[in-house]
Amino acid sequence: MWTKELRRHKARSAATALAVAVAAGLLVAMLSISTGIIATVESSISEGGADLLVAAPYDTEFAGGHAIAANLTAWPDVSLASPVLEALVSVSSGRPGTHPVTPVALGVVPGDFFDTLPPSDRALVTGQFFTGPGDTLFNGGAYDGPRSGEVVLSESLAESLAVSIGDSVQVVGEGPAPERGFRVVGTFAPQPSSENIIQELRWAFFRLSELQEITGKGLVNGTLEDRASRLYVTLRPEARLAPGGAVEVRDAVEAAYPDFTGMVQTKQERLDRLQDEYAIAQVFYIAIGFVSLVIGLLFVACVMTISVSERTRDIGILRAIGVSRRSIFLMVLGESVVLVAAGAVAAVGPGYYGALFLGNYVAATQGVAPTFIGFSPGLVGGALLWVMSFGAAASLFPAWKATRVPVVEAMRAAL
């Protein structure tokens, strides 16, 4: 009985179900992306080797990066500390059809830094992450050791410069150092990463002292600066596993280096901060999905209200022969729910492919791999439950309206 009227108006019923499918599909896609991003970031932090992060405020650095890292590494609770400098440089290849590019450059001590990366980030490197673990140019702060002249580029940067592993690029920074040549020894494919290490579209990794040299942040007028933007600190297992062990080391670092007060964060503190930040984005994504869903379900309510108005005569006859208002209410409600259910089931496909499309769009515009889509049976089931609940609520008005059709007036219209 519930589908008879729907089958009488097949085109209208199909259009209504399609509207629900599109709206519900967008909701599923938004939930998939927001859930997947948060899960990826949390996993990246949890899997990463760094138990503490010392991060200077935005666009600033602190002096003594190598020395502080060496001092912290000597602490009994610390396994290693790895200094990192973030800066902007200009990179060119001289290849026809290419232009100089300004990527974000990271200066690292290769061996220590690689050990702090989560396995998912390590797997992104093609070729070599430098040919040796050390930072030879630094040479105790004299900056007169051997230069490696090696650089590791993001795949998108290498593509922009039309270079591959083994090719050379020219790099110039903000400092007084002249333009220098570097050989590409590896590339990497970016994806979401907890510390924004391997994430942006165009990145270039250098050895720390070599980046300090070309940006003027190593020796400044003969004075040792050795500037860094952050420190990744890995604890020994006994300190990591001890209750409150990371917090104790954090407090000790801030006590030893008062300038770091408020700059040191444990893994849990980073998780809490990122959850708060991504919660805002998640609300935004979900809001988009729910607005679309409300519009789709309002369309269902309008169509069913029109249907009730067109069936005034039929409903009047049913009432005249003794059909109760409750039965008419359930009949119209059932028709509406069938339309919503059909659209909800049809939404699984658009939701999945919509999430893939949006993920690929993010990958193309932000230089990240679309591996963060959290499409799962639980998520789809929860989204469809919301669709059915809201659909049933939206169907109450046309169902109620059907029960208010006056019998006498309806019979007069039938004559």
Burial environment of residue 159 by CB neighbours within 10 A (0 to 12, 13 to 18, 19 or more)? middle
Evaluate if residue 180 carries a pLDDT over 50.
yes
Confidence of residue 173 (pLDDT cuts 50, 70, 90): confident
What's the pLDDT at 43? 63
Number of domains in the chain: 2
Rg (CA), the chain: 31
Pair (155, 14) in one structural domain: no
* Mean pLDDT across 183-191: 85
Pair (233, 341) in one structural domain: no
More confident residue, 339 or 42: 339
More confident residue, 370 or 305: 305
Judged by average pLDDT, the poorest of 46-50, 154-158, 320-324 is 46-50
Q: Cβ contacts of residue 142 below 8 Å, gap of 6+?
A: none
Instruction: Give domain status of residue 188, yes or no.
Output: yes
Pair (224, 304) in one structural domain: no
Instruction: Give domain status of residue 267, yes or no.
Output: no
Pair (294, 215) in one structural domain: no
Question: pLDDT tens digits for 212-241?
Answer: 999 999 988 888 999 999 999 999 989 888
Pair (25, 92) in one structural domain: no
What's the pLDDT at 277? 66
Confidence of residue 415 (pLDDT cuts 50, 70, 90): low
Pair (248, 334) in one structural domain: no
Instruction: Give domain status of residue 349, yes or no.
Output: yes
Instruction: Give domain status of residue 302, yes or no.
Output: yes
What separation in angstroms does the CA of 217 have from each of 54, 137, 170, 212, 359? 18, 14, 19, 5, 38
Confidence of residue 96 (pLDDT cuts 50, 70, 90): very high
What's the pLDDT at 201? 63
* Mean pLDDT across 328-346: 83
Evaluate if residue 196 carries a pLDDT over 70.
no
More confident residue, 305 or 131: 131
Pair (176, 102) in one structural domain: yes
What separation in angstroms does the CA of 220 have from each of 49, 215, 259, 381, 392? 33, 10, 21, 61, 70
Domain boundary among 234, 260, 286: 260
What's the pLDDT at 195? 42
* Mean pLDDT across 52-76: 92
Q: Which domain holds residue 391?
A: 4-42+273-414
Mean pLDDT of the chain: 82
Pair (97, 140) in one structural domain: yes
Pair (26, 143) in one structural domain: no
Pair (169, 214) in one structural domain: yes
Evaluate if residue 412 carries a pLDDT over 70.
no
Pair (250, 319) in one structural domain: no
What's the pLDDT at 389? 83
